[in-house]
Chains A and B, each alone.
Chain A
Amino acid sequence: MKKVLAILLALVMVFAFAACGSTPAEDDGAADAAELTVGFIFIGAINDGGYTQAHYDGMKAMEDYFGGKVATKYLENVNDSDKQASLDAARNLIDQGCNVIVGCSYGFMDALDELANSGDYDDVKFLHFSGNKMNDKNFGNFFGAIEQPRYLSGMVAGSMTKSNKLGYVGAFPYTEVQIGINAFTLGAQSVNPDAEVKVVYINSWGDPEAEKAAAEQLLAEGCDIIAQHSDSTGPQLAAQDAGAYAIGYNYNNPVAADAYLTAPIWHHEKFLIPTIESILAGKWTPESYYGSMSEGYVDLAPMTDLVPADVQDKVNAVKEKMVSGEFEPFSGKIEYADGSILCEDGQTLDRGQIWAIDKLVKGAVGVN
């Protein structure tokens, strides 16, 4: 009898919480009156203070812009390495009446690709952030020249370092990350030829503990400014604990106020608003959007008071040149760390050439 009771109690324990697992999509507005419902699939939490919050804020700004004409729905914490979960999330949103699906992480690409090409969802439009797949009827992608603000943040770091060692917490040794590290290094060396960038990869897009631990090891090696290509504020907190400076990413979020200098950030509404407008007007065709600083899609967050005024002026002068299109980070003679040539004198890399980068430039040290 006691054994039966014990097993029953154990079972109750399991099911009590299993029952609370599923969450319905959040409904952000009156879907009835709207002409269009846009569904967002997020990899993280909308209040993560970083990557996903930047996407969420873009979504809210877009929704506000259209008043009641466009409604939004979203799903948080969708595992992007699980294709079935991604497919389920997208289908779930479509079933709830979404006509446009926006996938906000690289890993959603194959799921969106499958649905877009399946023929079952030809009336639904798919937009995917950071991917390289598209089709010519209903599947487009979008990304931005984050290397531009990365270069500027490198200038800030290069100007302010005392040890000439800059730490960089990277996600994976992968092109998107390497572009950022290279741009950061070039920016730092443009103002401080002695600056060296040390890179530690954590093999995750976001793992707060690993990000913080990686930053701590870089600080122990003498780095006095920490930059990051990862989702959380862990590296910034580590820098603050050590009395060093930090440069964030994705979102202007000065959690570590004593350390935070600035961050390369995204303004996703700059893509979403014109795109949704053209979908509403029936004029949209799939594109591979690559927003730049000129459109304001990517930007450098306002530099904090920790950045001296003369550094701010210097950075802002280059920023103006970027906005007007006079200057690109990947131009002029650039050498890889192994001595091969990335960019010749007088040459400016185009988007395709930038996205062919697969190693680090001279001055950056890390696993390849």
Chain B
Amino acid sequence: MEVFLASCIVAGTPLLFATLGEIITEKSGSLNLGVEGMMLMGAVIGFLTAAATNSALLAVLGAIAAGAAGALIFAILTASLNANQNVVGLTLTIFGTGFAGFLGQPVLGTSVPAEVYKSLKNFDIPLLKDIPFVGPVFFRHDVLVYVGYIVIIGFAFYMYKTRIGLNMRAVGENTAAADASGINVTLYKYVHIIIGGALAGLGGAYLSLVRVPVWQSDIVNGRGWIAVALVIFASWNPIKSFFGAVLFGGLGILGMKLQAMGFSISQYLVDMIPYVATIIIVIISTHKRKKESQPPHDLSVPYFREER
């Protein structure tokens, strides 16, 4: 059981990064549907950097930069040029897919260099790892999982306990009012869209450097879309997003777990569960009308100061 929960966390980590990124993007008022594309950009650049430099650190930084670059395209088109966010997001996904397919072609089927793979391998946190149950589940992972924990806590603090975080939420809730109160709306949007992209890129790199040991062009495999749904599941709350990501990561490996335990169950049925669960969760969460679980009021509304 402990081992299974631990592998659920690992399987959920790419979703977690992408979901956290999308939360911060949406909280500042932008709906970026390009998560899948930005994850792919991060995944391919992370993989190529690892192959070229043999450095795990550079690979992760490269992936973050690639995701951020994808988000920058989105930011320019939507925050400055006021293009339709849905259309640009979808385009970014298509772009990212092509980008990763094209750049990844020469390395298709090859493995991450052993040094990088090993240096991103498990690092047990002293003391914490010995706590019964909690230790084996939470504190015997690779470094990037711990980075995920830190980002969750950091985001929760930033969003709910700091002045800048409050400003950021104000931009997402009522852009005009935020603008009137002297907040630099465009700057806030740019920064948070780019942070969101950087995290999506990191999620992609987690797949290409840690989770999936061999480059394949469909490496992200719909996780970007699940992340968009998880944002609703988590009702824009970074802490809840952890449970959503682990749940969905777990659903992805549940079938194999059951098979390994000797249950005779069709893998096809189990493979459907995450997608069916996504639909159900989106339906449920759009029907309950709790105030704090509503989307930011000005989400995906283009802001024209002149039209105020």
| Chain A interface (Cβ < 8 Å from any Cβ of B) | 2-3, 5-7, 9-10, 13-14, 17-18, 20-21, 23, 44-45, 47-50, 52-53, 76-77, 167, 198-203, 207-210, 212-214, 216-218, 220-221, 232-234, 237, 241, 255, 365-368
Contacts and interface: CB of A to CB of B under 8 A. Distances in A.
B150 interface: no
Interface size class of B (residues with CB under 8 A): 35 or more
A10 B268 CA distance: 37
A189 to B, nearest CB: 18
Contacts of B128: none
26 contacts: A3-B83, A10-B77, A10-B88, A14-B91, A17-B99, A20-B102, A21-B98, A44-B108, A45-B109, A48-B109, A49-B214, A50-B109, A200-B259, A203-B271, A212-B213, A213-B256, A214-B260, A217-B4, A217-B7, A217-B257, A232-B213, A234-B213, A241-B121, A255-B111, A255-B114, A367-B259
Contacts of A213: 7, 11, 252-253, 256
A365 B264 CA distance: 9
A52 B253 CA distance: 27
Contacts of A199: 259
A220 B4 CA distance: 8
Nearest to A1: B81
Contacts of B213: 208, 212, 232-234, 237
B265 interface: yes
A83 to B, nearest CB: 20
B47 to A, nearest CB: 12
Given A10-B91, A21-B102, A210-B256, A233 B214 contact: yes
A198 B214 contact: no
A6 B302 CA distance: 13
Majority SS at the chain B contact face: helix
Given A2-B81, A203-B267, A198 B262 contact: yes
B73 interface: yes
B267 A202 contact: yes
A2 B82 contact: yes
Interface in B143-169: none
Contact of A6 (B81, B121, B261): B81
B215 to A, nearest CB: 8
Interface string B74-87: 00110001110001
B211 interface: yes
B109 A44 contact: yes
Interface of B: 3-4, 7, 11, 73, 76-77, 81-83, 87-88, 91-92, 94-95, 98-99, 101-102, 105, 108-111, 114, 117, 121-122, 207, 211-214, 216, 219, 221, 252-253, 256-257, 259-262, 264-268, 271
B256 A7 contact: no
Contacts of B83: 2-3, 6-7, 10
A110 B117 CA distance: 40
A234 B109 CA distance: 11
A236 B284 CA distance: 41
B268 A203 contact: yes
A220 B256 CA distance: 11
Given A14-B95, A241-B121, A367-B266, A52 B259 contact: no
Contacts of A201: 259, 267
Given A200-B260, A207-B216, A213-B11, 9 more contacts: A9-B73, A198-B260, A209-B221, A212-B213, A213-B7, A233-B214, A234-B212, A234-B214, A255-B111
Given A3-B81, A49-B111, A233-B214, A10 B87 contact: yes
Contact of B108 (A20, A77, A167): A77
A42 to B, nearest CB: 10
B240 to A, nearest CB: 25
Top 8 A-B residue pairs of the complex, sorted by shortest distance between their CB atoms: A48-B109, A6-B83, A17-B98, A45-B109, A45-B108, A208-B214, A217-B260, A209-B212
A20 B104 CA distance: 12
Given A48-B110, A221-B261, A367-B264, A214 B256 contact: yes
